[in-house]
Amino acid sequence: MIKNISKLNIVRIGSDITYSSLKKIGSGILESFCGLIKEVDFSHHDSPVVESIDAQLLTMILDEEYAGHTLGITDADLKTEDDDEFYNSILGGKNPKNDVAVVSTNKLTPQNLNTDRKYGLFIDRTLKVSLHEVGHNFGLTDHASYRPARNGLLCPMSRGEFNKFGYRGYVKVIIDGRGKNFCDECIHFLKSVYGHRRPSKHFLKDALVPSAH
């Protein structure tokens, strides 16, 4: 169980996402985890520009530097030690040994990111993957089936099947098909483990020093 569930550190690694867009993602997380997460703190992690990074190593670095409930968002490809080439690159992951989850925007960017609509789609996808990984921080598990929430959209924890679609198809079918509301099973779990919490005033803490982007 997360030691301090009410505060989430969102750490930007790289500069693919603007500060204003990062705040939109933070607001979306606050809304989806209403009553559980009450504060989002933003930081920018300076790191060498790399095309890829080991996902577990990144979670360990963030845990050591920020400590606590943390979500890292990077534009680098997240790698694992899986022998299968298809699975050794992931959209996001959570380290079971700490309270840190990470998300890669590398495969979430639409082709020709040159319109407001496509940039909005990019941010929406990043939010949905972030909800999935933060859900893992709370102890929620993947839904192998395409389980909908009450609004008919897929629960954020829906995982589906990778091999059926390939990464590009997976993003369009599963990620784009997810909503921002959790299914009844996930809601029941959160209430059972963390108790019923009344919605309270949320706030975003401006702790990020924006880069040139």
Summarised one tens digit per residue, pLDDT across range 69-100 is 999 999 999 998 765 555 678 899 999 999 99
| First vs last C-alpha separation in the chain | 36
Chain-centroid distance, C-alpha 26: 10
**The pLDDT of residue 111:** 79
**Strand, coil or helix: 63:** helix
**The pLDDT of residue 109:** 87
H-type helices in the chain, by residue range?
Answer: 19-32, 55-66, 116-137, 166-170, 184-194
**The pLDDT of residue 42:** 95
Residue 202 has pLDDT above 80, yes or no: no
pLDDT in tens, 34-73: 989 999 999 998 877 788 999 999 999 999 999 899 999 9
pLDDT in tens, 155-196: 999 998 766 777 888 899 999 999 999 999 999 999 999 985
| Ranges of each domain in the chain | 7-205
Residue type, 195: G
Calculate mean pLDDT across residues 106-135.
92
Residue 200 and residue 6: Cα distance in Å, rounded? 11
Residue 208 has pLDDT above 90, yes or no: no
Please, which residues bridge with residue 205 across strands?
41
pLDDT band at residue 211 using 50, 70 and 90 as cut-offs: very low
Residue 198 has pLDDT above 70, yes or no: no
**The pLDDT of residue 50:** 80
Fold of 7-205: Collagenase (Catalytic Domain) (3.40.390)
**The pLDDT of residue 73:** 96
**The pLDDT of residue 84:** 56
Residue 45 and residue 39: Cα distance in Å, rounded? 19
Residue 4 and residue 98: Cα distance in Å, rounded? 12
Nearest alpha carbon to residue 74 among 31, 131, 12, 116: 12
Q: Burial code of 12-25, b = ≥16 C-beta within 10 A, e = fewer?
A: bbbebbebebbbbb
pLDDT band at residue 133 using 50, 70 and 90 as cut-offs: very high
Residue 152 and residue 154: Cα distance in Å, rounded? 7
pTM tops 0.75: yes
Calculate mean pLDDT across residues 10-18.
87
Residue 91 and residue 87: Cα distance in Å, rounded? 10
